[in-house]
Amino acid sequence: MAKGRTVEIKTAGFAYRALIEAGALQSLGRSMRLLFPSTEALLVSDDNVFGLYGDMCLRVLAREGWQVKTALVRSGEQSKSLDVAGYLYDMAAETGLDRNSPIIALGGGVVGDLAGFVAATYLRGVPLVMVPTTLLSQVDSSVGGKVAVNHSSGKNLIGSFYPPRLVLIDPQTLSTLPRRQLIAGLAEVIKYGIIEDGSFFSRLENELEALLQSDPATLAAAIESSVCSKARVVEKDEFEKDHRRLLNFGHTIGHALEAATGYSYYLHGEAVLAGMIAAVRIALALEMVTADDAERMTSLMERLGVKPAPPALTAEQVIDKLSHDKKRRGQDQIFVLPTGIGKAVSLPVNDKRLIKRVVAEYLSGK
Ligand code: GLY
């Protein structure tokens, strides 16, 4: 088994660890035993992920004396709803969870956000253990404490900041990850290099092929660097008053693309990748970044393969969704724009023609 790496994340109330280790799932029961004085737990997963790792997790939990009930939800964004949360509250009550009994989220971002929301609210909070199984959730949503469900008028509108007590990242789970999801996760990995960690960016320029080949050691190291980067950002600004907004790089146009296509065409990371390239173009046009740096960023991102927009999508449809975005200040859109490799700022952009131009460039495949 490869040597594990631990990243500590400090929150307002306590510190928690993200353990990144090939085979980490095997230590789930023991790691929880060391943290929680309880024997009951609720395992939340989706039907796909549970089919792959469910039995093994239940076995290692039982070995340490955990009595676990399992709640399965359908895989996909539609499960992030108050209805499904209601089902999980029923299961939590049936399991007899008390305030020391953890909810375990085994799966990708949907399961993590949903189970996290239920953990944050059931009994006004029970411990949350994140066991993310997609690259995107391993490098982003499992760390930092954002939990939410969707509302009919938008994604993640009902939620909270509720840090997990433990994050267990097993890079071996990525061996079953579809390539499209790997690329979507790598988009968020590159994000950290651009906004926060210039030396990681340079490493990614050399290691992207190995990452695209799912080389286990390279992936584990990239996950560690990403989690460290995210930890640095959320430790400075856990509740997203200012600095944490940098994590929204690529998300202004990315979210608008997802919304304009009914959340059914793009994976989140695919839309964010297109949004990051558009944001670099805005930064270049506003002379906030040098042409050389913009070229390095764009060419690294393009090596992932940018998903083309659906042919019928128009710039007007995307701009319309932008104007409904949470990240708006008055009439201006808030963008995160890079100012160099490993540096970025968040600021309002009022040049609507420029925004429309970069959206149109992406839609036309430029
Ligand atoms: N995914 C962005 C954040 O955690 O703030």
Catalytic residue numbers? Answer: 124, 146, 188, 230, 240, 244, 248, 251, 255, 268
* pTM: predicted TM-score of the whole model, two decimal places: 0.95
Tokens of 343: 């540096």
Confidence bin at 4 (pLDDT 50/70/90): confident
Which pLDDT value is given to residue 329? 65
The secondary structure of 38-52 as a DSSP string is: -SEEEEEEEHHHIII
Pocket test for ligand 1, best of 110, 136, 141, 236 (most atoms within 8 A of CB): 141
Q: How far is CA 18 from CA 4, 94, 109, 143, in A?
A: 10, 29, 16, 8
Q: How far is the CA of 230 from the centre of ligand 1 (A)?
A: 8
Question: Torsion angle of alpha carbons 363, 189, 11, 345, nearest 10°?
Answer: -50
Smallest Cα–Cα separation from 308: which of 268, 260, 365, 263?
Answer: 365
Lining residues, ligand 1, CB within 6 Å? 140, 144, 146, 244, 247
pLDDT exceeds cutoff 60 at 2: no
Q: Where are the domains of the chain?
A: 5-176, 179-363
Three-state secondary-structure class, residue 166: strand
Q: Give the strand pairing for 154-161 and 40-46.
A: unpaired
Distance CA 306, CA 316 (A): 21
Tokens of 332: 């201006």
pLDDT exceeds cutoff 80 at 38: yes
Q: Give the strand pairing for 166-169 and 128-132.
A: parallel
Distance CA 305, CA 319 (A): 24
Smallest Cα–Cα separation from 170: which of 350, 4, 357, 336?
Answer: 4
Q: Which residues contact 78 (CB under 8 A, 6 or more apart)?
A: none
Pocket test for ligand 1, best of 244, 252, 272 (most atoms within 8 A of CB): 244
Which pLDDT value is given to residue 295? 98
Amino acid at 206: N
Q: What is the pLDDT of residues 261-287, one digit of tens each?
A: 998 999 999 999 999 999 999 999 999
Which pLDDT value is given to residue 1? 42
* From the candidate CATH numbers 3.30.70.600, 3.30.565.10, 3.90.660.10, 3.40.50.1970, the one assigned to the domain spanning 5-176: 3.40.50.1970
Pocket test for ligand 1, best of 140, 147, 276 (most atoms within 8 A of CB): 140
**Given the CA of residue 143, which atom of ligand 1 is nearest to it?**
4
Question: DSSP label at 65?
Answer: T
Which pLDDT value is given to residue 332? 81
**Given the CA of residue 144, which atom of ligand 1 is nearest to it?**
4
Which pLDDT value is given to residue 244? 96
Q: How far is the CA of 141 from the centre of ligand 1 (A)?
A: 7
Q: What is the pLDDT of residues 292-331, one digit of tens each?
A: 999 999 999 999 999 999 999 999 999 999 876 666 666 7
Instruction: Identify the residue whose C-alpha is closest to ligand 1 atom 2.
Output: 247
Q: How far is the CA of 136 from the centre of ligand 1 (A)?
A: 11
Q: How far is the CA of 330 from the centre of ligand 1 (A)?
A: 23
Which pLDDT value is given to residue 328? 62
Q: Do domains 5-176 and 179-363 have the same CATH topology?
A: no
Residue with the bigger pLDDT between 45 and 324: it is 45
Q: What is the pLDDT of residues 172-185, one digit of tens each?
A: 999 999 999 999 99
Are 145 and 238 contacting, i.e. CB atoms less than 8 angstroms apart? Answer: yes
Top CATH class of 179-363 equals mainly alpha
Instruction: Identify the residue whose C-alpha is closest to ligand 1 atom 3.
Output: 247
